[in-house]
Structure 1
Amino acid sequence: MSSTYVHYAAPSSLPSDYALLSRYAAANPGAAAGADEQAEASSVALSSDVDEHEDESSGLDIHTNGVGIGRSTSKRRSSFPSSYITPFNPTMGPLPDKHGHRSGPHPKDPNENTPLLAPPVPRIEEECDAASNDSARPFGELLREEARILVKYTLPVFGTHLFEYSLVIASVVSIGHLSTTALAASTLGSMTASVSGFSIIQGFASTLDTMLPSAWTSTQPQLVGLWAQRMGVVMAASLIPIMFIWWSSESILLFLKQEPEVARLASVYLKYSSAGLPAYAFNAISRRYFQSQGLFTVPTRIILGVAPVNALLNYLLVWGPEPIRLGFIGAPIATAISFNLISILSICYGVFFVPKTAWHPLSMRCFTSLGVLVQLGLSGVGQVASEWWSWELVGLAASQLGPTALATQSVLLVSASTTYQAPFALSVAASVRIGNLLGEENVTRAAVAAKCSILMSLVISAVWSTMFMVFRHSWAHLFNDDPAVVSLVASILPLVALFQVFDGLGAITSGILRAIGKQFTGALLNLSAYYVIGIPFGIWLAFWRDMQLHGLWVGLTVSLVYAAAIGVWICLKTDWEREVEKVRIRLEADQKDMQNDVEAIE
């Protein structure tokens, strides 16, 4: 699986989970229907496969006159304030060790224009990075150091995801108490928004996981701002067809045989939600802008301030006093206001509280090199969308198994999505850390960080698996007290416990693939895992072998075993020297473009 919160890519969307239980409750009035939250996507993992044979097939060549990057995969389901994030402190990269490796960029050949005192290289300063002979140190020592760094980065990302859930939960809870039709409409509208809008935005934004971290620790940190601006241009273009779909959604939903009233209300939900769509796209970019500089707590502080405002807005606009109460449309309006508020606070924070080292002045350069972002972004969209849609298909298949299976599926999906947040947060941290190390040309530590993140995912998975096994007979009571649901949940939880291991590995490998620009590989893994192996096999077991819901989860587990195994193999076999060279070529191409611009102005 791969996800971020409801609009990233989790096994299912949060409103869908609530809808499953609401349908169960309608069929069984005596049963309680409950569900919590969903896990965020992202998480988009991507891959620019620059192996020679892939270069030929993709048409993306590596050369010194342009950016040579392939295509890739994605994300799914960013931050609790960490105890300490080392403040910005530019330093020079250390000298090469005896093997010729260094943790800073290689200096360019001097000429008559080279300054005698080269400017310092900005970086996310970590004490262990000061070592100049990493390749000569014990692997265990390096592993412990990277584990501490990844934990420090992961905690704020994890916190951000948790606070973001409140934006979605507040909307679902407020609408869910209006009427069954209102809940169904909001569910349909939210699912349409995720499939046709949010997954596309997150897929494109995941390209920045490749571009920004390595740019920040290079000799040209202003490229962080330039690539962010370029992504803003790509996002603006992508919003046009998304807006068209949302504003034409009623006719589309009616064509898909949805109930007329539900389709009408879902269309209203989407039209008002569209007011927050540009802000949502901007937030996807700004978060990565901050995270690439090691400012992981910034998104946390912002979302922590907006979350209570969002809850208050939902209450006032949906259920508040008569003069300001709007009813059904109040929820999407409240969410749109919250997204825009996050954008405004992000701009203010970036302008007044963050050094301008990463910023690039606005210029026509933001309209250059867009093809690279589009190619990588489409691969990211392919992975994100394919995963989101796959879980919707699984939910649709479960709906054919009866109300008890529907309720059980909702409990299991919410549980798996929630536990997924920890490995997904770790994958974001790993993506930033590895990207920074590649920008510093620190080959040794980049390899260690990748291996460390994989090992940490196994530890996290072991905790969740143990929890599910220990509490499997009582776990369902957190959501539902119907004996049939409790029994069915208990019988499937051992499979979900096994599922955690490969789900976590899949999240981490997605983050590593994003860091090295291999989105296309991730997309191929997801497409083949879900649509070629997992879903067909699960449906065959569920309906033709009469394994019911057990069969669907067996299929999902098999798909993740396949994706995780191949993903881990690719990450462990990565040629980190070559990945550093790819980053160097891309940065040199940008520097050459910058020099050409300066010469043209002169």
Structure 2
Amino acid sequence: MSSTYVHYSTPSSLPSDYALLSRFAAARGISEVPEETGAPQSPVDDDAAVQDGQEEATSSLLPKKRPRRSSFPTAYVTPFNPTSMGPLPDRDGHRSGPLLEPTENTPLLAPAVPRIPEAVDEEDLSSESGPVPNILWEETCILAKYTLPVFGTHVLEYSLVIASVVSIGHLSTTALAASTLGSMTASVSGYSIIQGFASTLDTMLPSAWTSTQPQLVGLWAQRMAVVMAACLVPIIMIWFSSEAILLGLKQEPEVAQLAATYLKWAALGLPAYTFNAISRRYFQSQGLFTVPTRVIMCVAPINALLNYLLVWGPKPIRLGFIGAPIATAISFNLIALCSVVYGVWFVPHTAWHPICRRSFTSLGVLVQLGLAGVGQTASEWWSWELVGLAASLLGPTALAAQSVLLVSASTTYQAPFALAVAASVRIGNLLGEENARRAAYVAQASMLMSLLISLVWSTMFMVFRHRWAYLFNDDASVVALVSYILPCVALFQVFDGLGAVISGILRAEGKQFTGALLNLSAYYVVGIPFGIWLAFKRDYELLGLWIGLTLALVYEAVAGAWLCLRTDWNYQVEKVRARLAAEHKAGARHDAELAQAAH
């Protein structure tokens, strides 16, 4: 939400256990889907069409209802046949038809391996079964269980940024200004774009994980890595040309030169930052929410130590100003390395797909959704930079108060943002399992939870409004201004949290374009113009800017909640079916080409 805050977001049995079960994989494979003439077409994504070269798949190709996964997959084991695989099950879950030879892309583990099993998913939610009175409470408990480790990940990752700011802040005022300018430029021109593209995986991965093709999780992650690699080229070029750009924007020469130096060294961690954005979603889509938390928990103390040693340490290793971005870059690379180690040796490879020619196909879908994701994510980041720029024109007291309020709002935002990640994963998993009715309840439960969380933050701000600023600053004028604006910030919390969760629901549905339109219209048509008018034309000053931001979020939250509550979840299931069936046919063609080349 600010230049100082970067938005992002239980391992199963040991690998040896899964090696024991891999001999049964042949009985649960996937064959080529037979062509059907005259079958009705399933709907495709609202905001991104299926990539050219992938035929439209019919909704009848995939089963309407699959048997639920138990806590151990032996109930699904069929007679062992090491050389052949059964075709897709029909709508009743029965398999028939010719057998296919396994290929290098055949998953070692069957879809029967349990994936984020929740006991409540066994409940019959059909209309004939009547109402389920406890379903909102059930989903609230599940979302809370998913949210806590994600929140821990965000807090620990936030510490990486804070450590850099704190270490540089004690060097000099110029160094602090340069690091702030460099961090803001990195957020606007790099991190926000990467996170926007990575949000596409919130649509693709969770539903793939609970489908009959869990290996698509790895395939889509590989494709996103290809798209991200192309995006990094212009970003790095901008960062290495940043001094001329900042001078052109009338920044002070010394500050611009130091900020450009900051960005050049920070670029060493940019590929790892990109990889981490992908790997985090790879783990979270499988329900491994604690993996990123454990990794960052190990790296965060190392990052703090590196910041001290490289900025303030002994002369042989002390680097001064550039030590902070180097420490952050090293930390990002350590997170990436630990994630690879964890994924290779401590997590089952059920979701992995061998790297092959398919990893470079269907990139258009990711680019389309990714650009919309950039509009959804980056538009919010950029709006806060504009508000900060406007606050700087109101004088040093207003700028200091804005910093206090912004850091406070950024910190409290991490809880509903973590809830949004949990909701996105949970809804995507349910769509992959074709459980449309429970997905609707998850959306409702997550919005209610966001309101409860926001009420806690709002109450905290109101109770401590007269002393809150003392946590950051002792200046009496800053404390008074913060106390004056905090009631507006307390109201802001309610709609900020609801807006975060709504964005997560829209990402799960593949409606990044809708989210982008909401954010762009809320901030740039309603909120920021109205706030600037209040601040400079009506003399509301900093309070006017926050009133404008609050109005923007009221509009975004109300319109987004209306869209989410009116969602046709059966239609969303059909969209997932179409996407998975298209991928299945593409995989079958690839396997046939490999077989033909082998002969």
Give the TM bin, normalised by the shorter chain: 0.7 to 0.9
* Rounded Cα–Cα distance in structure 2 between residues aligned with 1:303 and 1:406: 32
* Rounded Cα–Cα distance in structure 2 between residues aligned with 1:576 and 1:179: 55
1:194 equivalent in alignment to 2:187: yes
Which of the residues 296, 306, 314 maps onto 1:321?
314
Which of the residues 539, 559, 565 maps onto 2:558?
565
CA positional deviation for 1:110: 4.8
What are the residue-to-residue correspondences of 1:480-491 with 2, within 5 Å?
A: 480-491=473-484
Does the residue aligned with 1:219 lie in a helix, a strand or coil? coil
Which of the residues 41, 54, 57 maps onto 2:7?
41
What's the CA shift string for 1:151-209, capped at 9, x where partnerless?
00000000001111111111111111111111111111111111111111100000000
What's the CA shift string for 1:375-400, capped at 9, x where partnerless?
00001111222111111111111111
Structure 2 CA distance for partners of 1:61 and 1:346, relative to 1, 3 Å = closer
Which of the residues 432, 435, 440 maps onto 1:442?
435
Counterpart of 1:162 in structure 2 is 155
Contact 1:88 1:124 in 2 (8 A): no
Q: Which moved more, 1:209-218 or 1:137-146?
A: 137-146
CA positional deviation for 1:41: 2.1
What's the CA shift string for 1:12-31, capped at 9, x where partnerless?
222xxxxxxxxxxxxxxxxx
Contact 2:48 2:369 in 1 (8 A): no
CA positional deviation for 1:591: 0.5
Contact 2:436 2:570 in 1 (8 A): yes
* Rounded Cα–Cα distance in structure 1 between residues aligned with 2:260 and 2:296: 28
Does the residue aligned with 1:220 lie in a helix, a strand or coil? coil
Task: State the one-letter code of the partner of 2:366.
Answer: L
Structure 2 CA distance for partners of 1:182 and 1:566, relative to 1, 3 Å = same
Counterpart of 2:367 in structure 1 is 374
Counterpart of 1:292 in structure 2 is 285
Counterpart of 2:107 in structure 1 is none
* Rounded Cα–Cα distance in structure 2 between residues aligned with 1:337 and 1:575: 45
Structure 2 CA distance for partners of 1:358 and 1:476, relative to 1, 3 Å = same
Q: Which moved more, 1:227-236 or 1:187-196?
A: 187-196
1:65 equivalent in alignment to 2:50: no
What are the residue-to-residue correspondences of 1:374-393 with 2, within 5 Å?
A: 374-393=367-386
1:474 equivalent in alignment to 2:467: yes
CA positional deviation for 1:482: 2.1
What's the CA shift string for 1:455-513, capped at 9, x where partnerless?
11111111111111111122112112222222221221111111111101100100000
Contact 1:134 1:445 in 2 (8 A): no
Task: State the one-letter code of the partner of 1:123.
Answer: R
What's the CA shift string for 1:109-168, capped at 9, x where partnerless?
8542269xx852642111111223465353431111111100000000000011111111
- Equivalent residue pairs, number: 533
Counterpart of 1:520 in structure 2 is 513
Structure 2 CA distance for partners of 1:53 and 1:371, relative to 1, 3 Å = closer
Which of the residues 271, 275, 297 maps onto 1:304?
297
Structure 2 CA distance for partners of 1:290 and 1:91, relative to 1, 3 Å = farther
1:503 equivalent in alignment to 2:505: no
Contact 1:272 1:329 in 2 (8 A): yes
Counterpart of 2:119 in structure 1 is 127
1:221 equivalent in alignment to 2:221: no
Structure 2 CA distance for partners of 1:589 and 1:54, relative to 1, 3 Å = closer
* Rounded Cα–Cα distance in structure 2 between residues aligned with 1:51 and 1:169: 48
1:247 equivalent in alignment to 2:240: yes
Which of the residues 268, 271, 295 maps onto 2:264?
271
Structure 2 CA distance for partners of 1:585 and 1:157, relative to 1, 3 Å = same
Percent identical: 72
Task: State the one-letter code of the partner of 2:396.
Answer: P
What's the CA shift string for 1:69-91, capped at 9, x where partnerless?
xxxxxxxxxxxxxxxxx998559
Task: State the one-letter code of the partner of 1:113.
Answer: P
CA positional deviation for 1:51: 12
* Rounded Cα–Cα distance in structure 1 between residues aligned with 2:90 and 2:303: 44
* Rounded Cα–Cα distance in structure 2 between residues aligned with 1:560 and 1:42: 20
Counterpart of 2:140 in structure 1 is 147
Structure 2 CA distance for partners of 1:306 and 1:106, relative to 1, 3 Å = farther
* Rounded Cα–Cα distance in structure 1 between residues aligned with 2:473 and 2:527: 28
1:600 equivalent in alignment to 2:590: no
* Rounded Cα–Cα distance in structure 1 between residues aligned with 2:397 and 2:322: 32
Gaps of 5+ in 1: 1-9, 15-37, 44-49, 69-85, 94-103
How large is the RMSD of aligned CA atoms in angstroms?
Answer: 2.6
Structure 2 CA distance for partners of 1:238 and 1:88, relative to 1, 3 Å = farther
CA positional deviation for 1:311: 0.7
Greater relative contact order structure (CA < 8 Å, 6+ sep): 1
Which of the residues 109, 112, 124 maps onto 2:97?
112
* Rounded Cα–Cα distance in structure 2 between residues aligned with 1:228 and 1:92: 30
* Rounded Cα–Cα distance in structure 1 between residues aligned with 2:159 and 2:90: 42
* Rounded Cα–Cα distance in structure 2 between residues aligned with 1:478 and 1:562: 32
1:338 equivalent in alignment to 2:331: yes
1:13 equivalent in alignment to 2:34: no
Task: State the one-letter code of the partner of 2:463.
Answer: V
CA positional deviation for 1:425: 0.5
Q: TM-score, normalised by structure 2?
A: 0.85
* Rounded Cα–Cα distance in structure 1 between residues aligned with 2:304 and 2:539: 44
Counterpart of 2:24 in structure 1 is none
Does the residue aligned with 1:356 lie in a helix, a strand or coil? coil
* Rounded Cα–Cα distance in structure 1 between residues aligned with 2:92 and 2:354: 25
Structure 2 CA distance for partners of 1:317 and 1:578, relative to 1, 3 Å = same
Does the residue aligned with 1:140 lie in a helix, a strand or coil? coil
What are the residue-to-residue correspondences of 1:30-109 with 2, within 5 Å?
A: 38=5, 40-42=6-8, 65-66=55-56
Counterpart of 1:25 in structure 2 is none
* Rounded Cα–Cα distance in structure 1 between residues aligned with 2:370 and 2:440: 25
Gaps of 5+ in 2: 10-40, 59-68, 77-88, 101-109
* Rounded Cα–Cα distance in structure 1 between residues aligned with 2:138 and 2:266: 44
Q: TM-score, normalised by structure 1?
A: 0.84
* Rounded Cα–Cα distance in structure 1 between residues aligned with 2:384 and 2:363: 31
* Rounded Cα–Cα distance in structure 2 between residues aligned with 1:58 and 1:439: 18
Structure 2 CA distance for partners of 1:87 and 1:430, relative to 1, 3 Å = farther
* Rounded Cα–Cα distance in structure 2 between residues aligned with 1:599 and 1:284: 33
Task: State the one-letter code of the partner of 1:530.
Answer: Y
What's the CA shift string for 1:259-304, capped at 9, x where partnerless?
1111111111111111110000000000000000000000000000
CA positional deviation for 1:444: 1.2
